[in-house]
Structure 1
Amino acid sequence: MTPSRFVRPTIFQSIPGLVAGVSTRHGGLSEGPYSSLNVGVHTDDAPEVIEQNLSLLCADVGIAPADLARSYQVHGDKIWVTGRPGYQSGFDAMISVQPGVFAGVGIADCTPILVADPVTRVCAAIHAGWKGTVARIVEKTAKRMIENRGSNPADLLVYIGPCISFAHFEVGDEVAAQFSEEFKTRKGAKWHVDLKAANEAQLRAIGIQQIEIDPSCTVANNADFFSHRTEKGVTGRMLALIGFQVS
C-alpha cells in the first residue's frame, strides 16, 4: 500500500465541508534530502518541483494551490486574519474568515496546530516552535477567534500535529528556563521539553477542551515526516492546512 500524502485528523471528520490535516513526506517528486513531497518554498529544492508537489497535495485534498493563505514564518506571534488567499511574510498563524480560503503553515519539527469552529466556519493554522510556544501564539490565535470572530471556546476543535516529541526535543538551560516545570525534565546536561503539552495547556486554560494530539514525532517517524533537527537543516517541509469549502 502506497503511504498517504496527507494525514486527516479524526477530530475534524464529522465537520461538513472542512478540509484539514498535515502532509507527509510521501508521494512527491523531490529527490535527495527533500525526498519526496517537499512543499517548503524557502528550501534549496528546485522551485518547479516544489510547485508540482504542492499541486499533487492540493489535488489529493480537493483544493487549488491558489486558495492557500500562507506566510514566510519567523518564529514570532503575529497573526494574519484574512478573507483572501495569498503569501505574506512575518506571520506564524493564519486565521481564515472566508470559506474557500485555506490557512496553511510549513513545518519540519515545530508544532502544527489546526483550529476549527464549525459554527462560525472560521479556522486557523498555527506554527508553534519553542519560541512561538513561549510567546503563546496558540493562546493568542484562539483568543482572536473568540474575542474578534465570535467563537465559543466550547465549539472549537483543535488538532495538535506531528512535531519533535518530548523524548527527542533536547534543549539547553537557556531555552528550558523559559518553560514551566510541568513541561520539562532534566536528563544529564540537557533538558527535554514537551511542546505538545505546553500548547495543549494554553488551549485548555482558555476553555478549549476538544483537542486531538497526534502521537507522531518528526524525529522518531522521520521516514514519514521531515525533521529539521534530524536532517541537520537540509530537509523539506510539510504543510498543515485547514479551511472550509464553499458550500
Structure 2
Amino acid sequence: MIKPVLHYFNLADEVVSFSTTRHGGVSKGKLATLNINPHRGDEPSAVAENLQAVAAEIGVQADKVIRLHQIHETHCLTVTDAFFRLSVAEQYEMEEGKDAVVTDCRNVCIGVHTADCVPILFYDPVHHVIGAAHAGWRGTVQRIAQHTLRKMTELYGTDPKELKAVVGPCISLKNFEVGQEVYDAFSAAGFPMERIARMYEKWHIDLPLCNQIQLEELGVPTANILQSGICTYDNASDFFSARILKEGFGTIYTGIALK
C-alpha cells in the first residue's frame, strides 16, 4: 500500500488530527499526489486508493471517513450511528451542500477539503465531541466557525471555554490579496478591520486571524486555539493552493477522529 504523508496536530491524546499533504499518493498532474476529494475530476480509482491509504494511516475504515461536498455556505452535517446504516447514495446526499460537520462517534474521521481556504478543527474534551469547518472568505464572513461551535453546544452541551481548536494550513495575510468588495464585506459584517486587514498595493485580509477572533468572541481561550502557521500559497509544493494551481487542482483534507 502507498504511504501517505500527513501533517499531524498535537491537539489531544484522545483524537488524531491532521492535514494531508501533496505527498504519498497516486493522483497525477495538479491533483498530485494525495487527493481524496471525489469532486475534483480526479480518477475515481486514484481517489479510492488515496482514501484507503489515509484511512489506514489514521486507523479508521475508509467508509468511516466523511467527505463533504462544500458550497461556501454554513450548513452543518451531524453524523450519528444512523448515518452509517444509510446507503452510499443516501450518505452522499447528506454530505451534499455542507461546509461543516460534527459528531460524537468514535473511530469516525470527519473533515473538510481546502486549497487556500481555512480548515478549522474542534474538540470538546469534556463531552468527547469533534467538529470540522471549511471557511473560505464567504464562510468566514458568514461566521461558519461560530455556527459550528454553536451546533456543538446545542447538540452536546459544549462549553466554549473547554474547547480546543486547530486552524489548519491556509493562505496567509501577505498572500491573500482581495478586491474592495471583499474588504467591504468583512467591514459590513463587523470584523475589526484594523486587526485583520492591511493595505499593500491592494487590501490583504488575515483569514486565519478572522476565524480565531470568531472563536474568541464565543469564549474560546486564545491558548486553546492552535494556529498551524502554514501558508498554502508559500508551500504549494507540499499543500494544494488554488491561487497557485489556478484550476483542476486537488485539495487538502484536514480531519479529526475520536480514538
**Identity among equivalent pairs (%):** 36
Q: CA deviation at 1:148?
A: 2.8
* 1:243 partnered with 2:257: yes
1:168-227 C-alpha deviation (Å, 9 max, x unpaired): 011100011112312111222x21010000000000011111100011111101111001
Q: CA deviation at 1:31?
A: 1.6
Which whole-Å CA distance do the structure 2 matches of 1:65 and 1:222 have between them?
Answer: 26
Q: CA deviation at 1:124?
A: 0.3
* Counterpart residue number, 1:6: 6
Q: CA deviation at 1:54?
A: 1.0
What is the alpha-carbon root mean square deviation over aligned residues? 1.4
* Counterpart residue number, 1:185: 198
Q: CA deviation at 1:150?
A: 0.7
Which whole-Å CA distance do the structure 1 matches of 2:108 and 2:35 have between them?
Answer: 22
* Counterpart residue number, 2:152: 145
Q: CA deviation at 1:4?
A: 6.3
Which whole-Å CA distance do the structure 2 matches of 1:104 and 1:7 have between them?
Answer: 14
* Counterpart residue number, 1:98: 105
Name structure 1 gaps, 5 residues minimum: none
TM-score by length of 1: 0.92
* Counterpart residue number, 2:241: 227
Which whole-Å CA distance do the structure 2 matches of 1:60 and 1:95 have between them?
Answer: 22
* Counterpart residue number, 1:161: 168
1:125 corresponds to which of 119, 132, 135:
132
* 1:76 partnered with 2:73: yes
Q: In 1, are the aligned partners of 2:77 and 2:100 still within 8 Å (CA)?
A: yes
* 1:54 partnered with 2:67: no
TM-score by length of 2: 0.88
Structure holding more helix per residue: 2
2:35 corresponds to which of 35, 38, 41:
38
